[in-house]
Amino acid sequence: MTQSGTVSAAISYDQNVTPDVIFGSGVSNGSFTVDRNNGIELGLRGKLRHNAAGNPENTFNSNGDGTYSFDAGVAPGQSSPTAVWSFEWSINTDFDGSTGLNVGDLTYALGLDNDPSQDTSFTVFDPIFDLGGLTPPDHSFGNNSTGNGGGEETLSWFSISFFGTIGITGYNDLVADNNVAQNSWKPHWYFASFDPTVDGTYDIYLAAFDDSGAQQARTEIQIIVGNGAAADVPEPATLALMCLGLAGVGYGRQRSRRNA
């Protein structure tokens, strides 16, 4: 997905996000792949959602280069298609106090690669404004002074399913009044036809845009599951043709030298 606008600064690895992880008390900061550009900070990371005992923990399996490695398979104590891993995103529209922007002043694109092979097939949506069937979603909102686990939410996913659809006024107020939004998601909630038992690679990106549609910041990660996606190996016939082609090139060069 190519967008016009300001080119992002270099992405930084294994970073803390500003001000902290504000969803889920006890969830550690760190291991985010972050872009800080134009006063905007965007972060993504992979996370071990369920350990061998089926409990959550602060393990992120970062490889230090924007990739995160996890075992394939259904998470312990969970049912399919819940994977061992999840991904977490963070938006801060004024991380250094220079923009005065709140979350609602920009638009966003979250791209999720549905293809476990080395090819990519992205589902793209705005995680703030494309609410789907959830009214509202359970994002955590705050500002640059919000402490760990101190984010404010309109209501929980449980409340939505138990009490039914609730008015969106409170969510809109949080979007308009705060510069930080974060969440933690399991892949099968949003990845199409997701199979946690398949080895593969999944690319994820998060971008922010101003009113003109110009990209202001962008970060991206890759989740490596199991042994990752196998490299595309040419079919035997194709490989033979390639070898003949290379041989022909070599023969042509030899003739050129002889005729020189």
Predicted confidence pLDDT, tens digits, the chain (260 residues): 333 344 446 899 999 999 999 998 889 999 999 999 999 999 999 999 888 887 778 999 999 999 999 999 999 999 999 999 999 999 999 999 999 999 999 999 999 999 999 999 999 999 999 876 666 788 999 999 999 999 998 764 444 444 444 446 688 899 999 999 999 999 999 998 899 999 999 999 999 999 999 999 999 999 999 999 874 444 444 444 444 444 444 434 343 434 44
Structure tokens at 257: 């030298």
Query: For the whole model, what pTM was predicted?
Result: 0.82
Q: Where are the domains of the chain?
A: 12-229, 234-260
**pLDDT value at residue 174:** 92
Q: Specify whether the CB–CB gap between 79 and 90 falls below 8 A.
A: no
Closest CA to 104 of 180, 172, 176: 176
Half-sphere exposure of 25 (CA within 13 A, CB side): 2
Sheet holding 215-225, edge to edge: 67-70, 215-225, 200-209, 107-113, 122-125
Q: Specify whether the CB–CB gap between 219 and 208 falls below 8 A.
A: no
